[in-house]
Amino acid sequence: MPDPLSFYFDFSSPYSFVAAQKIDALAARHGRTVDWRPFLLGVVFKRCGMPLMVEQPMKGEYSRHDFLRSMRYHGVEGHIPKDFPVATTAAARGFYWLAEADPELAVPYAKAMFLAYFRDGRPIGTRDTVIAIAEEVGADGAAFANALQDPAMKDRTRDAVEEAIARGVFGAPMVFVDGEAFWGLDRLTMVDDWLFRGGW
Amino acid sequence: MPDPLSFYFDFSSPYSFVAAQKIDALAARHGRTVDWRPFLLGVVFKRCGMPLMVEQPMKGEYSRHDFLRSMRYHGVEGHIPKDFPVATTAAARGFYWLAEADPELAVPYAKAMFLAYFRDGRPIGTRDTVIAIAEEVGADGAAFANALQDPAMKDRTRDAVEEAIARGVFGAPMVFVDGEAFWGLDRLTMVDDWLFRGGW
């Protein structure tokens, strides 16, 4: 069995949202699975000394237009939530807890989180919403709520962000195929071709 | 006759180099021509308060790897010159002079400039090389050399950069189709689809 693809994303990233609708099927076409790895884009940008894309001069305006255009291009229904971007610390922390406590639920939770935010406009920056989404996919709400406050889970999430940075993740989404990094939604076509041809 | 595409590029940008090999044929498939518009990426990044991509933490390292990989993916022979990136003020100034003085030569000159740099490794940051390339495509070398020093051509080039910024150009390559902006080599596929479907 070949290694899974590593899929790095932030729950508040529109390009990650679109990629999240596509990545499992893309990998499956090549007999691969996907290792989902949420991280915190805000922490990474801060570490790099870069402003968030939507805050960059000119590029910010372009990207807001391009988010919606990219969704239409990829046939994914969605929009930019009123409150955008939001902090995704709680959402990520909940993911890493589920990945240990109830691993079958982690990816469904991640997919539900994206749809809740970009399709339904729910405020996923809030603890209550994150807990509600965890419950909706079948998690134990009380245990999940406790985990969000657990110092061990805070550490686990911080470690995940550090691991992403150490691997060279500077944006989202970012996909690794056997050590080869591909940055951006635009590159899913290239990932597909890389898997098909075994590199080039 | 529909409007030409506007193709904004910097002579020192590897992604622009690859796009430059593709853009005319892409436009021609849809009965369009291309308006080539060199600008100075360094000036734009400075104005935006952003470091050049190759100087950004992590992204710089990724991009150097990705430049070569992208050339292979697109079937374009090239490499990253030893002296990279270079100032392209003289190269751009020469282009805008040719566009007025000998318009048939402007695009062949631009294509020759890219090949000289990314295929042959010639130092296009130097006046002598820029003049030599102009002569190789048939320009009057003495008149061209004078133009590089002409305050009117300095103004013309500065105006071109300001026009690009005013239009929202924040990176290279950038293609406009009937007012719709597409940033990046990765987006040529999307440009093709936009032209085919008339937007979406």
φ and ψ of A34, to 5 deg: -125, 130
pLDDT given for residue A19 in this prediction: 98
- Which residues of A are less than 8 Å from B41 in CB distance? none
The pLDDT tens digits of the residues spanning A106-150 come to 999 999 999 999 999 999 999 999 999 999 999 999 999 999 999
Model confidence band, residue B7 (pLDDT cutoffs 50, 70, 90): very high
Residue A85 gets the label, from left (phi > 0), alpha (psi -120 to 50) or beta, of beta
Interchain proximity A59–B170, CB inside 8 Å: yes
Q: Is A73 an 8 Å CB contact of chain B?
A: yes
Say what the pLDDT of residue A98 is.
98
Q: Considering chain B, what percentage of its residues have pLDDT values greater than 90?
A: 93
Span B50-55, average pLDDT: 84
- The first and second tokens of residue B119, run together, are 């295929």
Q: Is A60 on the interface with B (CB under 8 A)?
A: no
Residue of A nearest to B166 (CA): A58
Contact B43, B73 (CB under 8 A): no
Structure tokens at A47: 């570490």
- Model confidence at A156, in pLDDT bands (50, 70, 90)? very high
Torsion angle defined by CA atoms of residues A103, A196, A21 and A164, in that order, rounded to the nearest 10 degrees: 60
Is the pLDDT reported for residue A49 higher than 90? no
Average pLDDT estimate for B2-7? 97
For residues B194-200, average pLDDT: 95
pTM attached to this predicted model: 0.95
As a whole number, mean pLDDT of residues A95-101 equals: 98
Residue with tokens 């805050």: A55
pLDDT computed for residue B12 by the predictor: 98
Residue B49: what pLDDT? Answer: 84
Query: Looking at residue A53, what is its pLDDT?
Result: 83
- The rounded mean pLDDT for chain B is 96
Q: Is the pLDDT of residue A50 over 90?
A: no
Q: Which residue has the tokens 């805000």?
A: A42
Per-window interface: A 115-134 vs B, CB < 8 A: none
The SS3 call for residue A37 is strand
Q: For residue A56, what pLDDT band results from cuts at 50, 70 and 90?
A: confident
**Chain B residues within an 8 Å CB radius of A43:** none
The pLDDT of residue A36 is: 98
Span B130-178, pLDDT tens digits: 999 999 999 999 999 999 999 999 999 999 999 999 999 999 999 999 9
Query: A interface mutation test: which of B56, B169, B170 has the most A CBs within 10 A?
Result: B170
Inform me whether the pLDDT recorded for A3 exceeds 90: yes
Mutate to test the interface with B, among A54, A62, A189, A195 (most CBs of B within 10 A): A62
* pLDDT tens by residue, B28-40: 999 999 999 999 9
Residue A195 pLDDT grade (very low, low, confident, very high; cuts 50, 70, 90): very high
Average confidence (pLDDT) over A39-57: 89
C-alpha A180/C-alpha B157 separation (Å) is 39
| Minimum-distance CB partner of A183 among B48, B50, B62 | B62
What is the pLDDT confidence band of residue A158, given thresholds at 50, 70 and 90?
A: very high
Q: What does B60-102 look like in DSSP terms, one character per residue?
A: HHHHHHHHHHHHHHTT------SS-S---HHHHHHHHHHHHH-
> How much is the ipTM here?
0.93
Nearest to A200 among B72, B181, B187 (CB): B72
Burial class (CB in 10 A: 0-12, 13-18, 19+), A92: buried
Using a CB-CB cut-off of 8 Å, the residues of chain B touching A178 are none
Close Cβ partners of A77 (under 8 Å, ≥ 6 residues apart) = A71, A119
pLDDT computed for residue B55 by the predictor? 86
